[in-house]
C-alpha cells in the first residue's frame, strides 16, 4: 500500500510532456497471481525539449523485470526504477525510439480494484483516474493519446473470452492449453480509457445500424445464468445510440460496442473505449428483482457511459482539473436523454432533489471545491457531486443563456474543433462564445468559484405606476481557499403570474437584461423594473431551477399556493410546494427541541391535498409533490447547530398531520393507482406505483398500524412494491412481528441474488433511532455480509452513515467511532471506497456542539490511524481543516 502523503498538484503547473507517445503495443500473459505485461512504447522527443531531458514514467506498486531501448537492454546506470516511477536518461534527441518494459503484477492480490484485478474468476481493469500505472510504467495522464494494440494470452479453459478496446484483429491457439487474441483501437486514447477483460462469461448480442448505415455489433457480457436480466440494458443502449445521433449528430465509430458487468466494482461504470465495464447493479434487471428506480438508473448510466464516447473519449480532458469537461457535460447529456424518455418535469424535480441533498451540503462544508478545482492531492477524491452534478448544471445554464439553437451550434463547433483533442474548459466555453457572439467571461466564474450562491430577492408592486420592481442581491459564501468572490452571471427564468393564472407581458424592462423568460443577474445588487403590469403579480423565479442557487424570497403562503396551483412550469409548482413545506418542517424541529406541540400551516395541507387528488396531473408528479423535503434538506436549511433527532421527529409529526387530514384521499389513491397485468417498467406505470406507495406511506401515519403495509408486502408482484412495503414495515414499525416476518421472508426468497440482498441490508441500515448502530453491527456478522464487495459495504455501512440521520448521529457519538473503525479497516483493502464513505461526515460542523465534538474525535481517530492511504488522509485532513 502506498502510505506516503501525496504531493499537491496545481493546475497552474500544467505543462505538456517532454516526449510524445506515438503508439502502444501491450502483451498480457494472464496468470491469477503472476501476470506478465510487456509494454512496447514508441516515443519521440517533443520539438524544443532539451536533448538531456530524461523520460519520466509513472508507476504504482510495480515490479519491473525487463527494460529495453530499441530491443537492447538499457545499462543499469541509465535508468532509475522505483515502485512508483521509472526515469530513463540518454535517450535519442531527434529520432523516435522504442522502450520495452516488462512488469509482473498480481491481479488476485489487487483489492484496491484499480489497475488489473480478479473478481469472481474474471480478469478486469479499472484505469481511471490513475490505475494504468499499476499495470506498467507509463505517462499516465489524460493528455497523452495513442493508438493501442493489445495481445492477450491466457489459459483457454477458464478464459474463453479475451477482450480489449477497439476492433478484434484475430486470435488462435497458443501452445498447450492456451490461446491468444489481438485487438486494435485506431482511435488515439489516453491510458485511463484502456480496458482488458478475460474469463468465462455469458453474452447477449444485438446489432445497431448507425445513421450512415454501418452495422455495429452490440454485446453485453454477464455471469452465466444472468443473461435473461440484460434485455432492458440492451434496449437502453440502442435508444441511447439513436438519441445521440438525433440530438447531437454523434455516430458510433467502431465495429463493436461491448459492455461487461462485474460484481466487484468501485464505481457505477466506466466508459473505456468500445469496452465499457459496469457494476452489474447498473446492467441487470427483471421485474422480480429490480425496482423502478433501478430501471431508471440502468437507463441513465448505460446512456451516460455510451455518451462518453464523444464527450470524454473522442474529446478528452487535458488534465484532471478539467474532469467536469467530460463528466458535467455527459451528466447533462444523460439528464436530457432521460428527460426525453420520461417526464421532463418529473426528471428535473428528481435531479434538483439529488443536487440539493448531495451537492449543496458538499458546497457548504469543508470539502467544498470549484467545479474545476485548481489543486488536488488525490484525484480519486474529486469524482464528486460538484464535478458531476454542478458541472451538469453549469452546462445547462449555458443552454439556458444561449437558447436551444445557439447551444446546439456551440456543441457542433466543439465536436468539429476539438475531435481527437485533450481539451480544457476554456476551449469548451470559447465554442459557445464563437457560436453565439455572447461574452461568457463572467459566466465562467461558475467553473472557478466554489459555494452555492445565495440570491436574496424582494418585490414591490406599484399600482399607480403599473410597475413591478425586483431588488436582487447575490452573495457567494466563503469556501476553503476562497474567502472573497466576484459576482456571477446568474440566469434566472421567471414569470409574473396574474390572478387568473396567466402570465404578464411587461411593456418594458429596466435595470437588467431579460431575454425571453431569462432574467440576467450580473451585479452584486440589481434593481429591475417591469412596466405595464396591470395588477399585482405573483413572482415565479428560478423556474426549472435555471440556476443552482439558494433563493431567499419571503413569499406569503398564499402566493406560494398560487404558484403551486397555476404556474405553467411544473417544476415551479413543485418548488412552491417545497417552499411552503420547508418553514413548517423547520419550525417543527425547533418546536420538538423546545418541547412544544407541532402545528402545520393549513394552507400547505390544503394545497398539497388538492394537487395530489388532481387527476389531470401525472401520477409521478403527484408522488414528487407528496415527498416532502428530506431530513438532510431540513438540516441544510436550518444551517448550524442542528439536532437530527428533532428534525426527524418534527418531520414525522408534519407527515402525520397531513396524513390525518387527507386520509380519505390517500385511501382513494392507494386503491385507484393499481397497475394490473404484467409488470412494465415504463415511466407512466412507474409513476402510478410511486404515487400508490406514497399514499401507503402516509396511510401508515394516519392508521398507525403495520397492517396495510403487511398486506401490500404479501400482495406485491414486483420489486418496487415489495421493497417499498418492506421498508415501510421495517422503518416505521421495526418491532412489529409483521416486520420481522417480512424481513425474514425477503431474505430467504432472495438469498442467492446479491443485488436484492443489498436492498435487504440498506432497508435495515435505515431503520431510524438509537437501536440502529447495534443492528448494523449485528448485520455485519450476517453470512451475507462480504467486506470485500463494494456494493455490499455501501449497502450497509454506506447507507447507515449517509442516510440514517438519527441512527448515525446518535448523541453519544458511538456511531461516529464505529464509522472511524470501519474506515480504517476498509482502507487497508480499498482506499477509494473508504474515502468515499468517509465523506458521509462532510457536514459535521453544522451539528449541535455535543455531536460536533464527538464527530471531531472520530475524525481524529482516523487521522491518527497507522498506514492511512493517501485517499483517506486527504479527505480527513480537509474535513478537519476546512
Ligand atoms: Zn462519466
Compute the average pLDDT of residues 4-32.
Answer: 93
390 pLDDT exceeds 70? Answer: yes
Q: What is the pLDDT of residues 829-865, one digit of tens each?
A: 999 999 999 999 999 999 999 999 999 999 999 999 9
Calculate the CA dihedral of residues 183, 185, 278, 102 and round it to 10 degrees. Answer: 60
Residue pair 726/746 in contact (Cβ under 8 Å)? The answer is: yes
Name residue 386's beta-bridge partners.
none
User: 330 phi and psi, to 5 degrees?
Assistant: -75, -35
Nearest to 193 by CA among 143, 227, 242, 261: 143
Q: What is the pLDDT of residue 740?
A: 98
Distance 814 CA to ligand 1 centre (A): 36
**pLDDT at site 463:** 98
Q: Is the pLDDT of residue 4 over 60?
A: no
Q: Which three cell numbers stand for residue 55?
A: 523520460
Measured between alpha carbons, how far is 102 from 88 in angstroms, rounded to an integer? 15
What is the 3 state secondary structure string of 775-795?
Answer: HHHHHCCCCCCCCCCHHHHHH
Does residue 593 surpass a pLDDT of 50?
yes
> Residue 425 Cα, ligand 1 centroid: separation in angstroms?
16
Q: Tell me, what's the pLDDT at 642?
A: 85
Rounded to whole angstroms, how far apart are CA atoms 882 and 876? 10
pLDDT at 433 over 60: yes
**Cα dihedral sign for 835, 837, 838, 844?**
positive
Band the pLDDT of 641: cuts 50, 70, 90.
confident
Taking residue 316's Cβ as centre, other Cβ atoms within 10 Å add up to 24
Distance of CA 327 from the midpoint of ligand 1 (Å)? 5
Strands (E), 480-524: 490-497, 508-510, 513-515, 518-521
Residue 318 three-state SS: coil
Q: What is the DSSP letter of 598?
A: P
Strands (E), 59-109: 64-69, 72-73, 79-82, 85-88, 97-105
Confidence band of 164 (pLDDT split at 50, 70, 90) = very high
Whether the per-residue pLDDT at 595 is higher than 60: the answer is yes
209 CA to centre of ligand 1 in angstroms:
25
- Counting Cα atoms < 13 Å in the Cβ hemisphere of 818 gives 21
Predicted local confidence at residue 539, as pLDDT:
98
Nearest to 729 by CA among 757, 754, 696, 755: 696
514: β partners:
519
Q: Which three cell numbers stand for residue 451?
A: 459555494
- Measured in Å, residue 194 CA sits from the centre of ligand 1 at 15
Range 67-92 average pLDDT: 97
Q: Are 795 and 809 in contact (CB under 8 A)?
A: no
Cell 478528452 appears where? 316
Could you identify the residue written with the cell 437501536? Answer: 771
The yes-or-no verdict on residue 2 having pLDDT over 80 is: no
On whether the CB atoms of residues 329 and 263 are closer than 8 A, the answer is no
pLDDT at 592: 97
Closest C-alpha to 454, from 544, 363, 370: 363
The predicted pLDDT at position 3 comes to: 41
Mean pLDDT in the chain?
A: 97
Report the candidate in 410, 411, 366 with the shortest Cα–Cα distance to residue 384.
366
> What integer pLDDT is reported at residue 375 of this predicted model?
95
Q: How far is the C-alpha of 301 from the C-alpha of 281, rounded, in Å?
A: 10
Three-class DSSP category at 224: coil
Least confident of 90-99, 147-156, 630-639: 630-639
| pLDDT 10s digits, 455-503 | 999 999 999 999 999 999 999 999 999 999 999 999 999 999 999 999 9
The rounded Å distance from CA 308 to ligand 1 centre is 7
As a whole number of angstroms, the distance between CA 674 and CA 696 comes to: 12
Active site residue 305: yes
Mean pLDDT in residue range 219-225: 97
**What is the distance in A from the centroid of ligand 1 to the CA of 172?**
35
Cell of 52: 538531456
| CA–CA separation, 875 and 464 (whole Å) | 58
Say if CB 621 and CB 345 are below 8 A apart.
yes
Enumerate the β-bridge partners of residue 10.
375
Which residue has cell 510524445? 20
What is the whole-number distance in angstroms between the Cα of residue 331 and the centre of ligand 1?
7
The grid coordinates of residue 546 equal 435555471
Nine-digit cell at 140?
Answer: 499516465
E strand or H helix at 326: helix 323-341
Please identify which residue in the block is written with the cell numbers 417498467.
681
Q: What angle do CA 410, 413, 414 make, to 5 degrees?
A: 85
Ligand 1 center from residue 502 Cα (angstroms): 41
At residue 5 the predicted structure's pLDDT band, cuts being 50, 70 and 90, is low
Q: Quick one: pLDDT at residue 404?
A: 97
Residue 835 to residue 383: CA distance in whole angstroms: 11
Look up cell 480509457; give the residue. Answer: 193
Task: Tell whether the model's pLDDT for residue 812 goes beyond 90.
Answer: yes
Rounded to the nearest 10 degrees, what angle do helices 344-354 and 619-626 cross at? 20
Check pLDDT > 50 for residue 1.
Answer: no
Ligand 1 centroid to Cα of residue 253, in Å, is: 19
Q: Is the dihedral of CA 36, 42, 46, 50 positive or negative?
A: positive
Rounded distance, CA 365 to CA 881, Å?
Answer: 11
H helix count then E strand count, the chain: 30, 33
Among residues 38, 223, 271, 305, the one annotated as catalytic is 305
Amino acid at each position: 500500500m502506498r502510505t506516503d502523503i501525496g504531493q499537491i498538484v496545481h493546475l497552474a503547473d500544467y505543462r505538456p510532456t517532454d516526449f510524445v507517445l506515438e503508439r502502444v503495443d501491450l502483451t498480457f500473459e494472464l496468470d491469477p497471481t503472476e501476470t506478465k505485461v510487456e509494454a512496447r512504447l514508441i516515443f519521440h522527443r517533443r520539438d524544443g525539449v532539451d536533448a538531456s531531458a530524461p523520460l519520466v514514467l509513472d508507476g504504482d506498486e510495480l515490479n519491473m523485470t525487463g527494460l529495453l531501448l530499441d530491443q537492447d537492454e538499457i545499462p543499469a546506470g541509465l535508468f532509475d526504477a522505483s515502485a512508483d516511477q521509472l526515469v530513463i536518461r540518454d535517450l535519442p534527441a531527434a529520432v523516435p525510439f522504442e522502450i520495452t518494459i516488462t512488469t509482473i503484477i498480481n491481479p488476485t492480490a489487487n483489492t484496491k480494484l484499480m489497475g488489473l484485478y480478479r473478481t469472481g474468476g474474471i480478469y478486469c481493469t479499472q484505469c481511471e483516474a490513475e490505475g494504468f500505472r499499476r499495470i506498467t510504467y507509463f505517462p499516465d495522464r489524460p493528455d497523452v493519446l495513442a493508438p493501442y494494440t493489445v495481445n492477450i494470452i491466457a489459459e483457454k479453459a477458464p478464459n474463453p473470452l479475451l477482450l480489449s478496446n477497439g476492433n478484434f484483429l484475430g486470435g488462435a491457439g497458443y501452445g498447450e492449453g492456451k490461446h491468444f487474441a489481438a485487438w486494435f483501437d485506431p482511435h488515439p486514447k489516453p491510458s485511463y480509457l484502456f480496458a482488458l477483460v478475460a474469463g468465462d462469461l455469458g453474452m447477449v448480442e444485438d446489432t445497431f445500424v448507425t445513421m450512415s448505415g454501418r452495422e455495429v455489433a452490440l454485446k453485453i457480457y454477464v455471469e452465466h445464468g444472468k443473461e435473461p436480466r440484460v434485455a432492458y440494458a440492451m434496449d437502453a443502449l440502442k435508444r441511447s445510440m439513436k438519441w445521440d445521433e438525433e440530438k447531437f449528430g454523434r455516430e458510433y465509430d467502431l465495429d463493436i460496442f461491448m459492455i461487461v458487468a462485474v460484481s466487484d466494482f468501485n464505481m457505477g461504470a466506466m466508459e473505456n473505449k468500445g469496452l465499457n465495464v459496469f457494476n452489474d447493479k447498473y446492467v441487470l434487471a427483471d421485474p422480480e428483482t429490480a425496482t423502478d428506480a433501478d430501471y431508471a438508473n440502468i437507463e441513465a448510466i448505460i446512456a451516460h457511459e455510451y455518451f462518453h464516447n464523444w464527450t470524454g473519449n473522442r474529446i478528452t480532458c487535458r488534465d484532471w482539473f478539467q474532469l467536469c469537461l467530460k463528466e458535467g457535460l455527459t451528466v447533462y447529456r444523460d439528464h436530457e436523454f432521460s428527460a426525453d424518455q420520461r417526464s421532463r418535469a418529473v426528471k428535473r424535480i428528481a435531479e434538483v432533489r439529488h443536487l440539493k441533498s448531495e451537492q449543496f451540503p458538499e458546497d457548504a462544508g469543508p470539502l467544498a471545491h470549484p467545479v474545476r478545482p485548481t489543486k488536488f492531492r488525490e484525484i480519486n477524491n474529486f469524482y464528486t457531486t460538484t464535478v458531476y452534478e454542478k458541472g451538469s448544471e453549469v452546462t445547462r445554464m449555458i443552454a439556458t443563456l444561449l437558447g436551444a439553437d445557439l447551444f446546439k451550434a456551440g456543441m457542433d463547433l466543439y465536436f468539429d474543433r476539438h475531435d481527437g483533442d485533450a481539451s480544457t474548459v476554456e476551449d469548451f466555453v470559447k465554442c459557445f462564445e464563437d457560436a453565439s457572439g455572447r461574452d461568457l467571461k463572467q459566466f465562467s466564474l461558475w467553473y472557478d468559484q466554489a459555494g452555492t450562491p445565495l440570491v436574496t430577492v424582494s418585490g414591490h408592486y406599484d399600482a399607480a405606476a403599473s410597475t413591478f420592481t425586483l431588488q436582487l442581491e447575490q452573495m457567494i459564501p466563503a469556501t476553503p481557499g476562497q474567502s472573497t468572490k466576484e459576482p456571477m452571471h446568474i440566469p434566472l427564468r421567471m414569470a409574473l403570474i396574474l390572478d387568473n393564472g396567466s402570465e404578464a407581458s411587461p411593456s418594458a424592462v429596466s435595470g437588467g437584461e431579460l431575454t425571453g423568460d431569462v432574467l440576467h443577474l450580473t451585479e452584486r445588487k440589481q434593481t429591475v423594473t417591469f412596466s405595464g403590469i396591470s395588477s399585482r403579480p405573483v413572482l415565479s423565479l428560478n423556474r426549472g431551477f435555471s440556476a443552482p442557487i439558494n433563493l431567499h424570497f419571503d413569499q406569503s403562503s398564499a402566493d406560494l399556493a398560487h404558484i403551486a396551483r397555476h404556474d405553467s412550469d411544473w417544476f415551479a409548482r413543485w418548488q412552491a410546494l417545497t417552499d411552503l413545506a420547508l418553514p413548517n418542517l423547520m419550525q417543527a424541529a425547533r418546536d420538538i427541541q423546545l418541547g412544544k406541540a407541532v402545528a402545520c400551516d393549513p394552507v400547505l395541507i390544503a394545497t398539497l391535498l388538492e394537487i395530489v387528488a388532481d387527476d389531470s396531473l401525472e401520477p409521478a408528479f403527484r408522488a414528487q409533490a407528496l415527498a416532502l423535503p428530506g431530513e438532510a434538506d431540513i438540516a441544510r436549511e436550518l444551517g448550524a447547530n442542528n439536532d437530527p433527532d428533532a428534525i426527524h421527529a418534527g418531520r414525522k409529526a408534519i407527515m402525520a398531520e397531513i396524513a390525518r387530514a387527507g386520509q380519505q384521499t390517500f385511501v382513494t389513491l392507494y386503491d385507484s393507482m393499481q397497475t394490473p397485468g404484467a409488470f412494465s417498467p415504463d415511466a407512466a406505470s412507474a409513476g402510478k406505483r410511486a404515487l400508490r406507495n406514497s399514499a401507503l406511506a402516509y396511510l401508515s401515519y394516519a392508521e398507525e398500524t403495520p397492517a396495510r403495509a403487511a398486506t401490500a408486502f404479501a400482495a406485491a408482484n414486483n420489486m418496487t412494491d415489495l421493497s417499498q412495503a418492506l421498508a415501510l414495515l421495517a422503518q416505521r414499525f421495526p418491532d412489529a412481528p409483521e416486520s420481522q416476518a417480512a424481513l425474514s421472508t425477503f431474505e430467504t426468497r432472495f438469498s442467492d441474488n446479491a443485488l436484492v440482498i443489498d436492498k435487504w441490508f440498506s432497508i435495515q441500515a435505515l431503520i431510524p433511532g438509537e437501536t440502529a448502530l447495534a443492528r448494523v453491527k449485528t448485520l455485519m456478522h450476517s453470512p451475507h455480509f462480504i467486506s470485500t464487495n463494494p456494493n455490499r459495504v455501501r449497502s450497509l455501512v454506506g447507507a447507515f452513515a449517509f442516510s440514517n440521520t438519527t441512527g448515525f448521529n446518535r448523541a453519544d457519538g458511538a456511531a461516529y467511532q464505529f464509522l472511524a473503525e470501519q474506515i480504517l479497516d476498509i482502507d487497508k483493502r480499498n482506499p477509494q471506497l473508504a474515502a468515499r464513505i468517509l465523506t458521509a461526515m462532510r457536514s459535521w460542523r453544522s451539528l449541535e456542539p455535543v455531536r460536533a465534538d464527538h464527530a471531531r474525535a472520530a475524525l481524529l481517530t482516523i487521522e491518527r490511524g497507522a498506514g492511512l492511504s493517501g485517499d483517506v488522509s486527504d479527505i480527513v485532513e480537509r474535513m478537519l481543516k476546512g
